[in-house]
């Protein structure tokens, strides 16, 4: 049995066609059903439905053999404990700094609101900017509007959320897409099944274009 960890929402929706090409179609819809373990049309494959930020943890500890997670989440988790063999080119967006459109360019000491605490810390340290990082769990865009922070580090796709809140994108930290991650022990113990699945995903991805920018 192979267990794949996936989060509900955009990653699940975008992963479904990829999974289907490998013969994996869930027997229930997580949007309408409360089950957390979904059987699929392949009796040897099941999905576990978890929060996006929990995917690396489930895979690292072997609670799932494989997982699909955004590069943003993997960066923040620290991905040394996992294999990351495939860029699935889904859920593409950008990890950026953003600030109020009238705010001056960042210089000196800066207060940053984000859920990506480790990534932001590393980013500003590399630039030699002294940053005080304030951990938030969502609605980061609000922080500069209410004086909680000078800027934010968050995901940007269309830019509509920033625009609607009088913010603007500033610096690109990284282009983001979702990756297939694999538990290190499972890669050895279930090598044949995992290698076959990777091969099927690769073939499907090769037919698709264009990839997310890297």
Residues 165-184, one symbol each (x = binds ligand ATP by CB under 6 A, - = not), give -----------x-x------
Determine if 52 is a binding residue for ligand ATP (CB under 6 A). Answer: yes
Return the residue matching tokens 């538990």.
183
Nearer to ligand PRP, 19 or 93 (CB): 93
- Segment 127 to 156, residues that bind ligand PRP, using CB under 6 A: 138, 154-156
Between the CA of residue 198 and those of 21, 22, 86, 208, what are the distances in Å?
A: 12, 9, 8, 15
Residue nearer to ligand ATP on the CB measure, 112 or 176: 176
Q: Rounded CA gap, 173 and 75, in Å?
A: 11
38 binds ligand PRP (CB under 6 A): no
Give the interface segment with ligand ATP, choosing from 28-36, 69-77, 191-199, 206-214 (CB under 6 A): 69-77
Does position 199 interact with ligand PRP (CB under 6 A)? The reply is no
Residue 78 C-beta-side C-alpha neighbours within 13 Å: 5
**C-beta of 12 vs 106, nearer to ligand ATP:** 12
Selected binder of ligand ATP within 3, 7, 46, 89 (CB under 6 A) = 7
- Using CA atoms, how far residue 78 sits from 81, 84, 196, 203, in Å, is 7, 12, 27, 28
134 interface partner picked from ligand ATP, ligand PRP, none, CB below 5 to 8 A per type: none
User: Quick one: 86 or 98, whose CB is closer to ligand PRP?
Assistant: 98
Nearest to ligand ATP of 106, 180 (CB atom): 180
Residue ranges binding ligand PRP (CB under 6 A): 138, 154-161
């Amino acid at each position: 049995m192979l267990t794949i960890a996936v989060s509900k929402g955009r990653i699940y929706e975008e992963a479904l066609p990829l999974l289907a090409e490998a013969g994996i179609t869930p027997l229930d819809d997580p949007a309408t059903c409360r089950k957390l373990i979904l059987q699929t049309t392949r009796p040897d494959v099941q999905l576990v439905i978890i929060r996006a930020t929990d995917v690396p943890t489930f895979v690292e500890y072997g609670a799932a053999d494989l997982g699909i997670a955004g590069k943003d989440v993997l960066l923040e988790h620290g991905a040394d404990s996992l294999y990351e063999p495939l860029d699935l080119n889904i859920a593409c967006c950008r990890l950026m700094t953003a600030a109020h459109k009238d705010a001056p360019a960042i210089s000196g000491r800066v207060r940053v609101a984000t859920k990506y605490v480790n990534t932001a810390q590393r980013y500003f340290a590399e630039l030699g900017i002294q940053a005080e990082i304030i951990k938030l769990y969502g609605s980061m865009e609000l922080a500069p509007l209410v004086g909680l922070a000078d800027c934010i580090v968050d995901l940007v796709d269309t830019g509509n959320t920033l625009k609607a809140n009088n913010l603007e994108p500033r610096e690109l930290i990284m282009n983001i897409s979702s990756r297939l991650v694999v538990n290190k022990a499972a890669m050895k113990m279930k090598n044949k099944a995992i290698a076959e699945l990777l091969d099927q995903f690769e073939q499907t991805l090769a037919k698709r274009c264009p990839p997310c920018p890297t």
